[in-house]
Amino acid sequence: MTERRLNIVVWNEYVHERGTGVPADLYPDGIHGAIADGLRASLGTAAVVSTATLDEPEHGLPAAVLDHVDVLVWWGHVAHDAVSDELAARVQQRVLDGMGLVVLHSAHYSKPFRLLMGTSCGLRWREADDRELIWTVNPGHPIAAGVPAVIPLARHEMYGEFFDIPAPDELVFISSFTGGEVFRSGCCFHRGKGKVFYFSPGHETYPIYHDAMIRQVIGNAVGWACAGESSGTQTGIHESPNGWFEQ
């Protein structure tokens, strides 16, 4: 019997790469293209990796597509408000029903992530070419598999605390910066039947998604977030007479 291939979609607003401010040779196929290439390399034949962008009809994620996604990867920054509330709510519901969601960099402020967190998801930031060190603080976690104690990024945007998220269910990475700040840069959350991983590296002006270790983390995260066989447990509100589970 052939095993079903995982259905992975990388979503990107795809605005910066088509404007000014991002070196043209950095992401010629868009940030989504680079992330998807990395996932194809790390997941091989186990997954079908496709992409979707804001400009496409229904932002590239009509129900017919979204309903069959195992893990959705999300990158957004300047166009969070252009994402329809309807799609944000559908992504939230799909996570509650078991879809995995990997939220990257400035998508900490995206509609779906904020809906799932229920907090402002605000943070400190600075674009000043800080060196970032990503510290693995949970080396036994599946998302840290094959990842060294420290991933150095020679230059990156600083994201610092306080990051207004609920306490993560599992914390995998903490970053430190030249300026002295620290940040919870790799955070796991369970919501309903689904899993959410937030990973902060990925500012659009740096070649972050070409970095082998960053690709390793994102590949691991997709594997971790994958729903697998769904539990028979029902979510929602159910009137339950005595003995209902024995019938």
Interface with Zn ion (CB under 5 A): 106, 157, 203
156: amino acid identity, one letter = H
Whether 174 contacts 137, CB under 8 Å: yes
Cβ proximity to Zn ion, 94 vs 203, nearer residue: 203
Min CB(135)–Zn ion separation in Å: 20
Min CB(125)–Zn ion separation in Å: 7
Cβ proximity to Zn ion, 70 vs 132, nearer residue: 132
Tell me how far apart the alpha carbons of residues 227 and 232 are, in angstroms, rounded to a whole number. Answer: 13
Min CB(244)–Zn ion separation in Å: 50
Q: Rounded to whole angstroms, what are the CA distances from 149 to 139, 171, 173, 213, 239?
A: 8, 14, 10, 11, 49
Cβ proximity to Zn ion, 106 vs 136, nearer residue: 106
9 CB-near residues (< 8 Å, 6+ apart): 49, 50, 51, 52, 60, 61, 65, 69, 71, 72, 73
Min CB(174)–Zn ion separation in Å: 18
Residue whose C-beta lies closest to Zn ion: 203
Cβ proximity to Zn ion, 36 vs 158, nearer residue: 158
SS (H, E, C) 177-196: ECCCCEEEEEEEEEECCEEE
Cβ proximity to Zn ion, 157 vs 181, nearer residue: 157
Stated as kind and residue range, the H or E segment containing 156 is: strand 150-160
Min CB(166)–Zn ion separation in Å: 22
Q: Bridge partners of 76?
A: none
